[in-house]
């Protein structure tokens, strides 16, 4: 399985999902996000999905996380670096807020010209503008 949609479809077909309405709904919502949403919405959807399935589908969620990390990047801009740069996406955090805080902290620590966290902007972007997520 090398496609996020395949992983989601396999999870939807899993018999352990029967009776778990919140996990089923989260999977269906995430599947829709993969086809129609902006990268930031997909990241939010991933965190919601992971919270809904908890540790029940650890291996599948690991595969989905790794696939998504290969599809998206983080674009970081600051008041001193308007063009910004791209960095790999790491979805090891519990929420997008914690992810963004860690990115800002790292950028702040490594860039002496940045005066405050507020001056660091974060966008989630497709790794390759010509490739689709599905």
Instruction: Break the chain into its structural domains and give their ranges.
Output: 4-71, 72-126
Residues of the chain with pLDDT under 70: 1-2, 80-82, 109-118, 129-134
Per-residue pLDDT, 63: 94
Residue 23, class by beta-carbon neighbours within 10 Å (0-12 exposed, 13-18 middle, 19+ buried)?
buried
Calculate the alpha carbon distances from 3 to 6, 11, 69 in Å.
5, 13, 12
Largest CA distance in the chain: 53
Per-residue pLDDT, 129: 55
3-state secondary structure of 10: helix
Number of alpha helices (DSSP H) and beta strands (DSSP E) in the chain: 5, 3
pTM of the predicted protein model: 0.85
H or E element that contains 121: strand 120-126
Residue 59, class by beta-carbon neighbours within 10 Å (0-12 exposed, 13-18 middle, 19+ buried)?
exposed
Per-residue pLDDT, 121: 85
Query: Taking a C-beta distance cutoff of 8 angstroms, is the pair 1, 7 a contact?
Result: yes
Per-residue pLDDT, 130: 44
Cα separation, 54 vs 124, in Å, equals 24
């Amino acid at each position: 399985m090398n496609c996020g949609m395949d992983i989601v479809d396999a999870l939807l077909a899993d018999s352990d999902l029967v009776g778990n309405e919140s996990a089923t709904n989260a999977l269906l919502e995430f599947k829709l996000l993969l086809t129609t949403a902006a990268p930031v919405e997909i990241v939010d959807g991933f965190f919601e999905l992971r919270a809904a399935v908890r540790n029940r589908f650890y291996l599948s969620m690991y595969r989905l996380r790794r696939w998504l990390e290969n599809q998206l990047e983080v674009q970081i801009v600051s008041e001193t670096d308007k063009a910004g740069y791209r960095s790999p996406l790491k979805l090891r955090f519990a929420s997008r807020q914690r992810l963004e805080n860690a990115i800002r902290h790292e950028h702040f620590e490594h860039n002496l010209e940045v005066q405050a966290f507020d001056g660091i902007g974060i966008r989630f972007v497709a790794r390759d503008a010509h490739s689709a997520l599905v």
